[in-house]
């Protein structure tokens, strides 16, 4: 994952704190190239994140217009006062086994960013080189 993508995620997390931020990871051929921020529409945005389903559909349609097409490779979100590790809710709601789940955890300058694959509730940490 490019450093610019990681830095964009950290900036978004810090900007939205104490709310959880969220967004899509965009790229092609398994390589993340962009972090696309989205609005967190969760009812409790300080402890959960939710991306609007229509925004997800519109984004997929828009990405198909590129040649070669870009694709959603995953999502990111923050745990402003927690660890960079998937919560129980994150594991339960991970419906895309091929997606990368990136979490920015911790307050302020101590933000840690980690990436995971979540399949059927099972979490496996993925290093940046594997992204």
Cβ proximity of 19 and 77 under 8 Å = no
Single out the catalytic residue among 20, 55, 71, 88. 20
Is 20 in the active site?
yes
Give the C-alpha distances (Å, rounded to integers) separating 76 from 21, 68, 102: 8, 23, 4
d(CA 37, CA 108): 19
CA distance 75 to 77: 7
The 10 Å Cβ neighbour count of residue 74 is 24
Cα(105)–Cα(114) distance, integer angstroms: 8
Just list the catalytic residues. 20
């Amino acid at each position: 994952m490019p450093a610019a993508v990681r830095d964009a995620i950290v900036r978004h997390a810090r900007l939205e704190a104490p709310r959880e931020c969220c967004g899509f990871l965009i790229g092609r051929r398994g390589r993340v190239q962009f972090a696309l921020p989205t609005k967190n529409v969760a009812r409790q945005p300080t402890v959960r994140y939710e991306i609007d389903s229509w925004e997800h559909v519109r984004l997929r349609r828009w990405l198909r217009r590129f040649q070669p097409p870009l694709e959603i490779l995953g999502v990111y979100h923050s745990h402003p006062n927690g660890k960079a590790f998937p919560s129980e809710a994150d594991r339960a709601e991970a419906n895309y086994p091929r997606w990368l789940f990136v979490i920015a955890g911790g307050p302020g300058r101590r933000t840690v960013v980690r990436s995971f694959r979540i399949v059927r509730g099972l979490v496996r940490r993925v290093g940046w080189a594997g992204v």
